[in-house]
Amino acid sequence: MSVSQPRRNVSKAQLLRERLAKPGPLLVAGAHHGLSGVLVERAGFDAIWASGFEISASFATPDANILTMGENVAVAEAIDRVTGIPVIADCDNGFGNAINVIRCIEAYERAGIAAICMEDNIFPKRCSFYAGVKRELESAEEFAGKIKAAKDAQRDDDFVVIARTEALIAGWGMDEALKRGKAYADAGADLVLIHSKSKSPDEVLGFAKAWKELAPKTPLVCVPTIYKGISAEQLHDSGFKVVIYANHALRSSIKAMRDTLGAIAKEHKAAAADPWIVSLEEVYDLVGVDTMKHQEESFLPAGGERVNAVVLAAGSGKAVGPVGAEIPKAMLDLKGKSILERQVGALNTLAVKDIAVVRGFQAAKINLPNVRYYENTEYETTGEAVSLLKASAEIVGHSKTGEGRSLVLYGDILFDTVIVQKLLSADADIAILVDRTLEQARAEIEARPRLDLVQLANAPANTGARAISASGDLPDVKRVGQQIAVAEAHAEFVGIVMVTDKGARALVETYQRALEAGKKFGEAADPKTASLPDMLQAVIDDGKVPVKAVETFKGWMEVDTFEDYQRAWAAVAG
């Protein structure tokens, strides 16, 4: 199976023909590079207009045949390469006479372009909208010859040639426009584009009305840039098959770039740009970083360490209040993305793509793609330990060599990737992330119920400076659980554990033994209700595999109460 683009057995030209044969208007939007092409496709348009206006502007040059044919083809090809819908390339006037057109068609067809559009401006042209510039048209006869040359030059029968007349733009009147349109249709144009810079659509609507009598078999194309109030459906009802929104992606990007740069230049702070920018993750998504990762897995020699993750997400959001009453807590929305989606995104940026989620309360509501699921159907009467046991196959023996590492995390926490990166670099069979802010904020911690606290053996001096940068000897965890007095605790358990295969076995086996024996386990009276800290404590008490602490100062949030939820909303990026 391909891990990149889907295999295609129809050409883009054929695809365009199929789309043209469907009822209703064919919606097309302009692009000027691969990325804007991808955005056009994702917005749901039928085809992409490789706009001369946009491409010229992206080079900061006027739309006046200043760029060469080669430069234009290269951009159209770049757009076509990264998109699955047809590209209709704006070829201006074919970059010369009929002889130039022949090479132009050859170049665009070779580049995979489905259709080209050629206009009857002389070479060099001037953009249809520039005021006060010299505007001349070729003779209809000369331009019809260019259309004939184009149709003769194409190799794929499905390749589409659109002829565009500028007669209305040049002020030569409706009769001339119709005469030219008809001459180009007779010369073999597959479609005819009538361009207008009138503020009212009446001009193009008048053309379309007359066209029905004149050349009903040749569909019409329009570009409603200046007469912008009319809908594609209205245009379609009046006789237009193809509607091109030619330059809006470019113009919106100029506004966004200008405002973003203006804000940074004014405030001298990157955060000033936040209102106008997308997240880095959105960029990764648009450029296919995920696909590249799959390709790396499929085609690069295996090496490095494979890390997987198990998210314990069986609980409900009831404790958070009415917003969470009817959903799993992990599915609580934070500015359009659930906690779990944010966790998966963060894990993915850490190259942890192999993710399993243990569901329980309202399991069907957790349905993210690219995640494996386990069910703890007894979530009401059991604890995290039972949930983790359901997914124990994920952490015990997850790598064939036994060298892999696994993360186990609560489904209600948000975290900075850097702290998990630090956990992953710990040289230990079991390491847990602990937040040492506690030592500076005991009063605040005292006020919060049911916190998982941590006591360290030989706790190192608590200096924030060391917390993120330290490597080397990690302190041992002596106790972890909710019954530790705050005054005796050194840290708070963040809810993220890293285990090697050996660590995973210790964690699972000590718990399994306790379950079989059915006696008190850690702080849990019944081992069935045991928590993740109870499992860790059992391993510590067993004394065979040390549990190490990796320190952090904040860099994470737990969503346990409504106040937490509000704080999380304020903290996350949209």
Among residues 41, 46, 77, 90, the one that binds Mg ion under rule CB under 5 A: 90
Instruction: Give the residue with the Cβ less far from Mg ion, 90 or 412.
Output: 90
| Residue in 63, 120, 501, 534 annotated catalytic | 63
98-110 and 69-81 helices cross at what angle (nearest 10)? Answer: 20
Instruction: Give the residue with the Cβ less far from ligand SPV, 83 or 247.
Output: 247
Instruction: Give the residue with the Cβ less far from Mg ion, 117 or 480.
Output: 117
Among residues 167, 223, 484, 547, the one that binds ligand SPV under rule CB under 6 A: 223
From 17-25, 45-53, 316-324, 400-408, span contacting ligand SPV (CB under 6 A)? 45-53
Is residue 63 annotated as a catalytic residue, yes or no?
yes
Q: Is residue 187 part of the contact set for ligand SPV (CB under 6 A)?
A: no
Q: Is residue 246 part of the contact set for ligand SPV (CB under 6 A)?
A: yes
How far apart (Å, rounded) are the C-alpha atoms in residues 349 and 340? Answer: 14
Supply angle C-alpha 535, 540, 541, rounded to 5: 95
Among residues 52, 86, 219, 317, the one that binds Mg ion under rule CB under 5 A: 52
Among residues 65, 72, 83, 128, the one that binds ligand SPV under rule CB under 6 A: 128
Give residues with Cβ within 8 angstroms of 494, minimum separation 6: 413, 415, 419, 432, 433, 434, 435, 552, 556
140-153 and 174-186 helices cross at what angle (nearest 10)? Answer: 30
Q: Is residue 511 part of the contact set for ligand SPV (CB under 6 A)?
A: no
Among residues 65, 93, 121, 247, the one that binds ligand SPV under rule CB under 6 A: 247
Residue found by looking up tokens 């260019």 in the block: 146
Q: Shortest approach of Mg ion to residue 140 CB, angstroms?
A: 20
How far apart (Å, rounded) are the C-alpha atoms in residues 6 and 84? Answer: 9
Among residues 25, 34, 52, 94, the one that binds ligand SPV under rule CB under 6 A: 52
Q: Shortest approach of ligand SPV to residue 53 CB, angstroms?
A: 3
Q: Is residue 46 part of the contact set for ligand SPV (CB under 6 A)?
A: no
Among residues 20, 46, 51, 331, the one that binds ligand SPV under rule CB under 6 A: 51
φ, ψ of residue 52 to 5 degrees: the values are: -65, -40
Give residues with Cβ within 8 angstroms of 251, minimum separation 6: none
Q: Which two tokens stand for residue 478?
A: 């002596």
Q: Shortest approach of ligand SPV to residue 195 CB, angstroms?
A: 6
Instruction: Give the residue with the Cβ less far from Mg ion, 17 or 32.
Output: 32
Give the 3-state secondary structure percentages of the chain, helix then strand then coil, rounded to 5: 45, 20, 40
**How much is the CA Rg of the chain, to the nearest whole Å?**
32
From 21-29, 46-54, 262-270, 297-305, span contacting ligand SPV (CB under 6 A)? 46-54
Looking at residue 181, its amino acid is G
How far apart (Å, rounded) are the C-alpha atoms in residues 290 and 285? Answer: 7
- DSSP letter at 12? H
Q: Shortest approach of ligand SPV to residue 230 CB, angstroms?
A: 15
Q: Is residue 404 part of the contact set for ligand SPV (CB under 6 A)?
A: no
Residue found by looking up tokens 């000027």 in the block: 32
Site for ligand SPV in 72-91 (CB under 6 A): 90
Looking at residue 82, its amino acid is V
How far apart (Å, rounded) are the C-alpha atoms in residues 302 and 515? Answer: 38
Do the Cβ atoms of 56 and 64 come closer than 8 Å?
yes
Q: Is residue 219 part of the contact set for ligand SPV (CB under 6 A)?
A: no
How far apart (Å, rounded) are the C-alpha atoms in residues 479 and 434? Answer: 12
Q: Is residue 394 part of the contact set for Mg ion (CB under 5 A)?
A: no
Instruction: Give the residue with the Cβ less far from Mg ion, 90 or 109.
Output: 90
Footprint on this chain of Mg ion (rule: CB under 5 A): 52-53, 90
Footprint on this chain of ligand SPV (rule: CB under 6 A): 30, 51-53, 63, 90, 127-128, 223, 225, 246-247
Supply the residues annotated as catalytic: 63
